Structure 1
Amino acid sequence: MAVYKRGDKAVFYMNFSVDGVRVSRSTGKFSKREAKLVEAVEKKRMMVEGALSQRERAARMLLSIAIQKTYDERWKDNKDGLKAKRLAERAMDLIGDIPLCKIEDQTIKRMVKKLEDSGVKGATINRYLATMKTLLRHHQQPWEHIKLKKESKGRIRVLSKEEEITVVRLLRDTDHSTKRSYYPEAADLVEVLVDTGCRLSEILNLKYEDINWDNNLISIWINKGDKPRSIPMTKKVRGILLARQAGDWFKPFTIDIYQAQKAWNWSRKRMMLDDDREFVMHALRHTCATRLLDRGIDLYTVKEWLGHSTIQVTERYAHLKPDKLVTAAEALET
């Protein structure tokens, strides 16, 4: 059977097979001549595609389809898989739903230019680029033309002991209004962060069931590096977490990330550090790392403490403790 009429409107349908693949659907045409033309075009398309390699077929695939296939086949089971999918979809909004073979050097440059013009920073742009590289590689398409941008390492902001004390005092001892009633809780949070070096999300999500009072350890199960770790508690951290347990909550901290940031920004403003863009809560993690190194803890131990994925990430703190270089210089003097 080739084309035939079907239904009250006498629309022509086509029914044929190519290499074992059956096609049975409407041609959308009301004359047999036009229907046969549609059928011929569809047959030719299927025959041409049937002769293509898997890589050649993927090259013709629209970006939207490629994103869904990459998610289903690669990203779905990853912790950040949904983020990767959404990032790829935002990239598609910038370059259009085009075939993969059209994602060329100039296409990527136009995407980067649009991101830069909208104020997106280099590190975020690199996440777009890395996502597109992964997608193209997954479908065996050329990806070497996608080059990540050099990121500015910037300086590592570390809080002095005086700055730490000031932040905590402002949050805990100020007579706060009802709207700021949770600021003393933020003071406890600051002290825990600086003594554990944990990421803000790790402590906010910490549950009492993850604290082993007998072994004096807190366990971080879900984190950015997808690498669970346990951290010993200092006396200060243990005291704060024990005191907060009296509230009969299932976790020590009840504020969310936005309240924590709001409290931090309030204290920064009163310390007249508005212009110090590096004076952020994440600096407490840098502060912990630096203090560990100041007390003679080696880089590998600091890596395990902070939960870094590689020692290279931890090495950015190495220049803050140049004692070994001084010792080397003294050896040369000798």
Structure 2
Amino acid sequence: MRIFKRENSTKWWVDWTDQKGRRHRKSTGVDDKKLAEALAAKWQQESFLEQHFGVIPEFPFQEALLRYGQERLRDNPVSYKASVKSRLQRLMDRFGDKTLTDLTHAVIREWVDERLGEVKPATALRDLSTLRAIMNKAFREGLLAQVPPFPRMKKDAGRCRWLTVEEEKRLLMASKPHQRALIAFAVDTGGRRSELLKLDWQNVDLARRFITYTKTKNGEDRTIRLTDRAKQVLTDLGPKEIGPVFTYRGQPMKDVSTAFAKARVRAGLDDFRFHDLRHTFASRLVQQGVSLYEIMHLTRHKSFQMVQRYAHLAPDFQERAIAALNAYGTVSAQSA
């Protein structure tokens, strides 16, 4: 084992070869030689234990978190910036000084209980899912011998607030003209707010009646065929070769929260959010007999379970099922 300093560096480095002939070289990150020697001895011992007894050395949680974060940022920058980054920061603040093996079931359970006292269950569940993903990735990469059992949390059935036709009329009448276009388009295409505000004319094909939402929350492009009303909305806005579709006074619309909240109040709508326009899109499709499988692909939900919240809206689904069984009901239950 050799301890040395590189040129123009105050930090000590360590260099050693293990019993399999593999060379290891890494910086200790310190300029105290005795501390550097202690770290070097520790690393050499950990390398020996891992090779001969399968003992995985301690690995800092913050490094595992950063590896996971880099992967998510690379695979889906939009989702990372929108939600993943803030969840990772919360986990870093809480567990940044720990190793992976410090995160036992008891430690995670205590943290979950605290989160449930601070936020809604759905938020706590998303944080827990992110922590589990970090630990699973570390396990796959050989940085953790075993993923601890995670506390069970009941998943929320999901919100399903949608507009009736009469409520939609009230909301549109209570909105400013530029808002009406956005609201109607959201209802007819199922676009998320971020997707709508990023929609560019270069991704609009009026001739073939298609639009494409790019770089969506799931990291995939999503193409939607336009309804008559959605096409008319775009026609009225005045198609261009390029540029944002939804604007206000010539500038791209960036935040519609305040204006939408005021319109909602004027319309007398309780417990209604902008995202519920997307629920309205899916709910109306179900009520017209479109299958949940088709809706999942139109909305680009990640799993079938996420569209299950709309199942109860399907028209006469139980009647159809019973009618199918009745077709076989020719043998009397009293028959010998």
Q: Which amino acid is the alignment partner of residue 167 of structure 1?
A: L
Give distance in 2, aligned partners of 1:302 and 1:41.
60
Give, in whole Å, the separation in 2 of the partners of 1:226 and 1:99: 31
Structure 2 matches for 1:244-283, cutoff 5 A? 244-245=237-238, 250-254=243-247, 259-273=255-269, 276-277=270-271, 279-283=272-276
Alignment match, 1:160? 164
Note if contact 1:63-1:100 (Cα within 8 Å) is conserved in structure 2: yes
Report what 1:122 is aligned to. Answer: 121
Q: 1:200 aligns with which of 174, 193, 215?
A: 193
Q: Spell out structure 1 runs of 4+ moving beyond 6 A.
A: 1-4, 13-16, 22-29, 246-249
Partner of 2:203: 210
| 2:20 paired residue number | none
In the superposition, the TM-score normalised over structure 2's length comes to 0.77
Find the counterpart in structure 2 of residue 113 from structure 1: 113
1:152 match: secondary structure: coil
SS at match of 2:46: helix
Residues 290 and 317 in structure 1, CA contact (< 8 A), matched pair in contact too = yes
3-state SS of 2:66 partner: helix
Counterpart in the other structure of 1:99? 99
The amino acid across from 2:62 in the alignment is: S
Q: Sequence identity, in percent?
A: 26
Instruction: Please say if 1:307 is aligned against 2:311.
Output: no
Do structure 1's residue 145 and structure 2's residue 145 form an aligned pair?
Answer: no
- Residues 93-126 of structure 1 show CA distances to partners (whole Å, capped at 9, x for unaligned) of 12451111111112112221332232x2222222
- Deviations along 1:182-224, whole A, 9 cap, x unmatched? x321111111111112212111111111111211111122212
Gaps of 5+ in 2: 5-10, 18-22, 330-336
Q: How does 1:21-36 map to 2 (within 5 A)?
A: 21=24
The residue type paired with residue 147 of structure 2 is W
Report the alpha carbon displacement of residue 166 of structure 1 after superposing the two structures with TM.
0.6
Post-superposition CA distance 1:235-287 (Å, at most 9, x none) = 211111111126897122125776422122112222333xx32x112221121
Closer/same/farther in 2, CA of residues 185 and 45 from structure 1, 3 Å limit: same
C-alpha contact (below 8 Å) 1:94/1:114 kept by paired residues = no
**1:283-315, Cα deviation, whole Å (9 max, x unpaired):** 211212222222232333222222223333223
Q: CA deviation at 1:52?
A: 3.1
Q: Distance in 2 between matches of 1:230 and 1:24?
A: 50
CA distance in 1, matches of 2:163, 2:91: 37
RMSD: 3.4
| Closer/same/farther in 2, CA of residues 165 and 61 from structure 1, 3 Å limit | same
SS of the counterpart of 1:230?
Answer: strand
Contact 1:218 1:233 in 2 (8 A): yes
- Name the CA distance, whole Å, in 2 between partners of 1:300 and 1:24: 53
Code of the aligned partner of 1:156: C
Separation (CA, whole Å) in 1 of partners of 2:100 and 2:48 = 19
- Work out the CA distance in 1 between the residues paired with 2:91 and 2:30: 34
Most deviating of 229-238 and 152-161: 152-161
My pick for the range that moved more, 249-258 or 318-327, is 249-258
Instruction: Tell me which amino acid in the other structure corresponds to 1:327.
Output: R
DSSP-derived class of the 1:18 partner: strand
Aligned equivalents of 1:203 and 1:96: distance in 2? 37
Structure-1-length-normalised TM-score: 0.77
Determine which structure has more spread, i.e. the larger CA radius of gyration: 1
Contact 1:126 1:148 (C-alpha < 8 Å) held by counterparts: no
Q: 2:247–2:253: 8 Å Cα contact kept in structure 1?
A: no
User: Given residue 69 of structure 1, which amino acid in structure 2 is its aligned partner?
Assistant: R
Count of matched residue pairs: 304
Structure 2 residue corresponding to 1:64, chosen from 48, 62, 73: 62
Deviation of 1:28 after TM superposition, in Å, equals 6.6
Aligned partner of 2:316 in structure 1 is: 323
Aligned to 2:332: none
